[in-house]
Amino acid sequence: MGLKVLILGVNGFIGSSLTRRILQETNWDVYGMDVGDDRVRDLLVEPRFHFKEGDICIHQEWIEYHVKKCDVVLPLAAIATPATYVRDPLAVFELDFEANLAIVRQCVKYRRRLIFPSTSEVYGMSPDTPYNEETSALVTGPIEKERWIYASCKQLMDRVIYAYGKRDNLHFTLFRPFNWFGPHLDRLYEPKADQNRADPSEGPSRVVTRFMSNIFNGEDIILVDGGRQKRAFLYVDDGIDALMRIIRDDGGNADGRIFNIGHPGNEVSIRELAEKMLQITAQFEGYEGVGLTVRLIEKAGEAHYGKGYQDLQVRVPCIENAKKHLNWTPKIDLHTALKRTIAFYINQREVPAAAKQRAIA
Ligand code: UGA
């Protein structure tokens, strides 16, 4: 008998990628809940995939039953887009903290292993380079900088889980994704007739999919605060590889530990990211002219996201913990990762367009 893995938010970016990998590589069963199924629709026929359409805030009975039934629990349902932290901070608190706390407590009650998504944002604007799980502090701005509600919720949850580990012997692992991206990161926005979107809460807000959408729609790319800030991006396949090692937990090496999961070698400024994405997209057939219509425009962060926004300039993970205890290293360089992601979105865009044309004909 294989493991029984419960994934809440199974249709999300990480949940759907993880489910695909589990079904391909193992004999495990995945029990998954989500409000939608568009990213996992092709997997619904798999006998080892047990999907329930539902909301983690409403279908608590189903969740409790499955926490009891499964070996490992991954509560991945959360809001993870900075535009929403600023626009609707209470929604972040209610879902990312309150709703997930109930699930954490069930793992304590039924003594189930918990693998919880912490985040690179728990370091806030820490001046450390790189960010270290054991020594780096959380540095946030004042309360009126609402962007930090996500970091604060996630860090408090890390502390709660850690405390349950100590007091009640909860078996847990916390993983901290550092700017993961790849296919299915966000859904792209439908083109709006020659109008530039000013509101970042409309359409994808995370940077790679936002730029992708801008490029496809021939819109200006907005470089928030000049695009000088840097991020280290990790391709999703590398992240899923780390997660598989955490779930397998060979020798109990993941238990009670916190892991930064990112690619220090893929650090890039946001301006460079935009330039690279334009260059790579232009290498695809039929997209040679994209750079001609898309301009790079600088805009202040507060003007773009609202007054509650504040940003960090540099964020690089220390991945020694993951190397040592999971025997994991990221393998996919930024260029390859962008090329694969852009190919995915081009394909996703062209297949429905071709189908529509056929339907008209
Ligand atoms: C992200 C999100 O909080 C989460 O997805 C996650 O927990 C975490 O960090 C992570 O993935 O490690 P951030 O790195 O700010 O936060 O993610 P993006 O929204 O993708 O923005 C990256 C940078 O691009 C920011 O400096 C932002 O201001 C900039 N940006 C974004 C632009 O310059 N233009 C845009 O149109 C969008």
- Tell me, in angstroms, the distance from the centre of ligand 1 to residue 82's CA: 7
- Tell me, in angstroms, the distance from the centre of ligand 1 to residue 301's CA: 11
pLDDT for residue 195: 44
- Residues lining ligand 1, Cβ inside 6 A: 80, 82, 119-121, 150, 177-180, 205-207, 210, 222-224, 227, 229, 231, 270, 301, 311
Q: Is residue 93 within 8 Å of 148, Cβ to Cβ?
A: no
3-state secondary structure 73-128: EEECCCCCCHHHHHHCHHHHHHHHHHHHHHHHHHHHHCCCEEEEECCHHHHECCCC
Closest to 175 in 3D by CA, of 110, 109, 254 = 254
- Tell me, in angstroms, the distance from the centre of ligand 1 to residue 16's CA: 21
Residue 4 CA to residue 300 CA, distance in Å, equals: 47
Q: Which amino acid residue places its CA nearest to atom 21 of ligand 1?
A: 207
- Tell me, in angstroms, the distance from the centre of ligand 1 to residue 214's CA: 15
CB environment 310-332: b (16+ within 10 A), e (fewer): bbbebbbbbbebbeebbebebeb
Task: Take residue 153 and report the two structure tokens written for it.
Answer: 């919720």
Q: What number of other Cβ atoms are within 10 A of residue 88's Cβ?
A: 15
With a pLDDT cut of 70, the percent of the chain lying above it is 93
- Tell me, in angstroms, the distance from the centre of ligand 1 to residue 181's CA: 11
Q: Is residue 175 within 8 Å of 115, Cβ to Cβ?
A: yes
pLDDT for residue 349: 87
Output phi, psi for 271, to 5 deg: -65, -45
Mutate to test the pocket of ligand 1, among 231, 314, 338 (most ligand atoms within 8 A of CB): 231
Give the residues of the chain that fall short of pLDDT 70: 189-202, 352-361
pLDDT for residue 1: 76
Mutate to test the pocket of ligand 1, among 81, 92, 199, 224 (most ligand atoms within 8 A of CB): 224
- Tell me, in angstroms, the distance from the centre of ligand 1 to residue 321's CA: 24
Q: Which amino acid residue places its CA nearest to atom 18 of ligand 1?
A: 206
Residue 243 CA to residue 38 CA, distance in Å, equals: 22
pLDDT for residue 193: 41
- Tell me, in angstroms, the distance from the centre of ligand 1 to residue 231's CA: 8
pLDDT for residue 351: 73
Tens digits of residue pLDDT in 168-200: 999 999 999 999 999 999 988 655 444 445 566
